[in-house]
Amino acid sequence: MQALFNRESQTAMRQADVSRNTNETRIRVALDVDGSGVANLATGIGFFDHMLDQIARHGLIDLTIEAKGDLHIDAHHTVEDVGITFGQALARALGEKKGLRRYGHAYVPLDEALSRVVVDLSGRPGLVFNVAFTRAMVGEFDIDLIHEFFQGLVNHAGITLHIDALRGDNAHHQAETVFKAFARALRMAVEADPRAAGAVPSTKGTL
């Protein structure tokens, strides 16, 4: 569904439902940016679902993700394509980004781990990913795929994203703080700015 705009209330119905089908994966992402954090996740990858749940709950985004991928090979295509489809859905839901704060940032700890994420709804895809995970796998999940998820997301959402894991000894904790901090930063960036209602937050007049 396209992002809808109610001219009378001057509030956006910021929802999208996007499908992506290839020879490797079949992905559907439905989201409501102004939700309550309800998640329905079925990627076939347990740890990945756990991380996506952090985005929904801490970003207050209602999120449905259905994925069928070539997991008999590995999880790479599924994780990357979920990121791509999530990015497409986010871009569609935000529309012209009028009246939004545009920028968001968050620090999130989990025990010994601490991550910082800064987001700009810039219209320009860019990812800076400074995360030195302490091990290569969490259970059966290849931790390198977290970078692939966020790369696909920023490329198709058209956002600039800086992710820094500042400390941590446990790779699960590191990953979870990254996803939670992303959720909180995104939540801030997509909030309405009461001082800039209806205005695109850019000197260019477009994002």
The pLDDT tens digits of the residues spanning 120-138 come to: 999 999 999 999 999 999 9
pLDDT at 104: 98
Residues with Cβ within 8 Å of 23's Cβ and at least 6 positions away in sequence, in order, are none
Flag whether pLDDT at 7 surpasses 60.
no
Question: pLDDT tens-digit profile of 37-63?
Answer: 999 999 999 999 999 999 999 999 999
- Whole-prediction pTM: 0.93
Indicate the range of 84-88, 96-100, 142-146, 166-170 predicted with least confidence: 96-100
Residues with Cβ within 8 Å of 160's Cβ and at least 6 positions away in sequence, in order, are 119, 120, 122, 124, 125, 126, 127, 154
165: which 2 tokens?
Answer: 């894991």
pLDDT at 3: 42
Burial class from Cβ neighbours inside 10 Å (0-12, 13-18, 19+) for residue 26 reads middle
C-beta of residue 64 within 8 angstroms of C-beta of residue 18? no
C-beta of residue 20 within 8 angstroms of C-beta of residue 196? no
Share of the chain above pLDDT 90, in %: 87
pLDDT at 12: 57
Flag whether pLDDT at 26 surpasses 90.
yes
Provide the CATH topology of domain 4-189: Ribosomal Protein S5; domain 2 (3.30.230)
Q: How confident is the model at residue 10 (pLDDT cuts 50, 70, 90)?
A: very low
Spatial distance between the Cα atoms of 80 and 71, rounded to a whole number of angstroms: 12
Sorted by where each begins, the domain ranges of the chain are 4-189
- Start-to-end Cα distance in the chain: 21
Question: pLDDT tens-digit profile of 153-198?
Answer: 999 999 999 999 999 999 999 999 999 999 999 999 999 999 888 8
pLDDT at 9: 34
Residues with Cβ within 8 Å of 163's Cβ and at least 6 positions away in sequence, in order, are 115, 116, 117, 127, 128, 129, 130, 131, 150, 178, 181, 182
Within 10 angstroms of residue 53's Cβ, the number of other Cβ atoms is 18
Residue 56, SS3 per DSSP:
helix
Q: What is the mean pLDDT of the chain?
A: 93
In degrees rounded to 5, what are phi and psi of residue 91? -60, -40
Flag whether pLDDT at 145 surpasses 70.
yes
